[in-house]
Structure 1
C-alpha cells in the first residue's frame, strides 16, 4: 500500500491566530504610545515653561539612544516574548503611578522627568525585542506580510491615538490621559502572554560570554554578512536624509508658502495615505520579487520625490508629491525590515534590529535641530535637496552592492 505524505500548508500571517494576537498587542501598545506622548507633553506644559516642556518630551531619546544596542543583547539572551511582556508591565506600572500622583496633587516636573527617562530606557529594550519577535511567530515566507500588517497598525494608531489622548485630557486632564495609556498597555499584556514562539532551533539564543562580548559578536555578524552590512548602511542613510525634512522641514516649508497648519495636515495625510497603501499592498501580496533591487530603486525614487516636495508650487501638488513619498518610502521601509529579519541568523535578530533602530530612533532624530537651523539660514529648498541627496545615496549604495541587489525574500 502506497502511503503519501500530506504536504504542510503554510498558514498566511493574516489568518494565523498567533500572529493576530501579537498584532492586537502591538496595536493596543501603539495607540497607548500616542496617548502617552500627548499626555506627557500636555502635563509638562502645565507644570513648567515651554522650554522645560520641550526638554521633558525630548528626554526619552537620551536613554533610548544610549541603551539601544544593549537592548538587542537582552532580547537575544532572554527571548523577545519575555522582554516584551516585561516591558509592557513596566510601562503600564510607571504610567499609572504618575496618573495617581497627578490625581492626588500637583507634583511638578520631576515625576514627568522620571517617567520620560524610564520610558526611554524601556523603549531601548523593547524595540529590538519587537523586531526580533516576528521570525519566531511566523514562517520566513510571511515576514513581508507581517511587516505590512504592522505598518497598517502604525497608521491606524497615529490616526486614533492622538484624538483619543485629546479626549482623555479634555474629560479628566493629563491624569485621565495617563490612565487611559496605562489601560492600553495593560490590555496588551494578556495578548502577549498568549503568543507562542517557535522551537529552540528557530529562536535559539547563543549567549556565550559577557554582554559586551555578545554585543561585539552581533556587530561582527553584521560586518561579515554580505547582505546585512550594506542593508544597515542603506537604512542609516535613508533615515538620516528622510526624518528631518518630514518632521521639522515640512512645518517650516508650509509656513514659508503660506499653507498654514491645515496645509501641513493635508500634506501629512497624503504621506500617511501613501504609506498605508504600501503596507496594504504588502499585506495582500505577501512577497515582492527581487526585494533588494526594489528597495534600492525605491530609495532613489523617494529621494527625487523629497526634493520635488520643496519646489511644489501649490498645496495640491505638494499633497500629491507627499502621497508618492509615502507610497515609495513605505514600500522601502517594509522591505528593509523584512529583509533584515530574513537574512539575520535567528540567534542575532535582536542585536541586528537594535543596530538599525539605533540609527533610525537614536541618531536620525538628532538631525531635527540641524534641519531647523539650516532651513532658517538658507530656506527649505536647499535643505530638502541635500536631504534628498542623502536618501539617493542610500539607494545608489544599495544598487552598488551586488549581494543586496540580488537579495530575495524567502518564499
Structure 2
C-alpha cells in the first residue's frame, strides 16, 4: 500500500492547523496578560503571583493529565480542552470589554488555561502518531517544530499589536482560535481508537511513565539533558535581557527572541537531513558542546550581538536534537503509555525553564552579572562532559 505524503494527508494537515490556531491564540494572550494586569491593578507583584499560579497549576496537574489522555484518547481530550479554554478566554474578553475585570477572574482563567494546556499538548503527540506513518514522523515533527518557532516570534508581536488596538481583542482572538481549533478536530474524517486496557488511577498507574523512562537509557538521558539545558539557557537569557535593559538597549530582548526563533526554524529544516546522514549520538553530543561553548562565551561578556548569534546557533543544534528525541518517543513508547510519557517531556521542561528564569532574577538581586552568568554556564559544561562519556547514547536504536 502506497504511503500518503504529508502534503496529501488531510488528517495530519487538519491537526497541524488545529495546533497552529491554538498556539497563535495562546502566544497572543501570553504577552497581553501581564499588560492587562499592570494596567488594571497597577501591581508588578500581581504579575508575579499570576505567573506563580500558572506554574503551580502545571505542577499539580502534570501527574494526572497524561493518564487522562491514555484513558480517554487524544481526540476527546483535544476538543474538550479547546472548548473549555475558549469559554474561559471569552468570559475574560467580555469582562474586559464591560470594564468588569477582577483579579479573581484573571487568576481563574490562568488556572484553566495552564491546567488544560498540558493534556492538549500530550494529546497532540498521540494524534500525530495516529495520523502519519512511522517513517514520516521526523518530517512531521520537523514541520511542527518549525511552525512553533515562527509562531513563537510572530505571536507575541501580534498580541502586543492587538492589545494596543483594544485591551480585550487579544483575548477574544485567543478564544476564537481555540474554538476554531476544536472545530478542526471535530470535523476530522477519522476515528480515534478508544484505548484498550484503560489504566486506573492508582499510584502505580501514575508512575508508569516514569518507570518506562527509567528503563529506556536514551530517553532517560534526554530528560536530564532537557532539564539542565532549559534551566541554564533560560537563566542566561534573562540575565542578558536584564543587562541590556539596564544599559539602555531596549532592543536586546527582541534581538535574542529573533535569533532564537531563527535558530529553531533553521534547525527544524535541517533535522531530517541530519537524521539521514548521522547517527543519533553525534547530533546530541554536538548540541550539548555547542550549548556549553555558547554559555561560556556569553559568560565571558561576548556582547549582545555576538551573544544573540551564539544563542541562535545553540537553538539550531537543540532543535535538531528535539526532533530526534520526539521521534524516539513516538516510535518506541507503548501506545498505552504515550500520554504519560509525553506529559513528562512537555511539562517538566516548562517548569524547569521557569525555575531558571526565577533563579536568575534572585541571583541578580544579590550578585553581579560577572558572577551570575558563569553560574549558569557551569551546569552546561558538566552536562557536556557527562554526555561525552555516558553509555546511554550508545543504546540508541539506529
- One fold, TM greater than 0.5? yes
- 2:144 corresponds to 1:144: no
- 2:7 corresponds to 1:18: no
Q: Residue 381 of structure 1: CA displacement?
A: 4.2
Per the alignment, residue 81 of structure 2 pairs with 87
Q: Residue 229 of structure 1: CA displacement?
A: 2.3
RMSD over aligned CA atoms reads: 2.5
Q: Residue 406 of structure 1: CA displacement?
A: 4.4
Change (3 A) 1:53 1:83: same
- 2:336 corresponds to 1:336: no
The answer (yes or no) to whether the contact 2:153–2:257 under 8 Å persists in 1 is: no
Give distance in 1, aligned partners of 2:253 and 2:39.
Answer: 26
- 2:36 corresponds to 1:47: no
**Which of 281, 297, 301 is matched with 2:290 structurally?**
301
Per the alignment, residue 235 of structure 1 pairs with 226
After superposition, residues 244-255 of structure 1 pair within 5 angstroms as: 244-246=235-237, 248-255=238-245
Unpaired runs of at least 5, structure 2: none
Q: Scaled by the length of structure 2, what TM-score is found?
A: 0.90
**Which of 86, 102, 111 is matched with 2:96 structurally?**
102
Per the alignment, residue 32 of structure 1 pairs with 25
Q: Residue 148 of structure 1: CA displacement?
A: 1.3
Per the alignment, residue 223 of structure 1 pairs with 214
Give distance in 2, aligned partners of 1:330 and 1:380.
Answer: 28
State how many pairs are aligned.
397
Give distance in 1, aligned partners of 2:7 and 2:52.
Answer: 36
Unpaired runs of at least 5, structure 1: 1-7
**Which of 391, 397, 407 is matched with 2:380 structurally?**
391
Structure 1 window deviating more from structure 2 (391-400 vs 74-83): it is 391-400
Give distance in 1, aligned partners of 2:11 and 2:276.
Answer: 20
Per the alignment, residue 159 of structure 1 pairs with 153
Q: Scaled by the length of structure 1, what TM-score is found?
A: 0.88
**Which of 97, 110, 113 is matched with 1:116 structurally?**
110
Change (3 A) 1:312 1:195: farther
- 2:372 corresponds to 1:400: no
Give distance in 1, aligned partners of 2:374 and 2:325.
Answer: 23
Per the alignment, residue 264 of structure 2 pairs with 275
How big is each residue's C-alpha offset from its partner over 1:305-360, in whole Å with a ceiling of 9 and x where there is no partner? 12212324444322332231221222222222222222212221111111223420
The answer (yes or no) to whether the contact 2:38–2:44 under 8 Å persists in 1 is: yes
After superposition, residues 153-232 of structure 1 pair within 5 angstroms as: 153-173=147-167, 175-195=168-188, 204-232=195-223
Change (3 A) 1:40 1:266: closer
Secondary structure of residue in 2 paired with 1:261: coil
Change (3 A) 1:25 1:286: farther
The answer (yes or no) to whether the contact 1:69–1:358 under 8 Å persists in 2 is: no
The answer (yes or no) to whether the contact 2:70–2:199 under 8 Å persists in 1 is: no
- 2:284 corresponds to 1:290: no
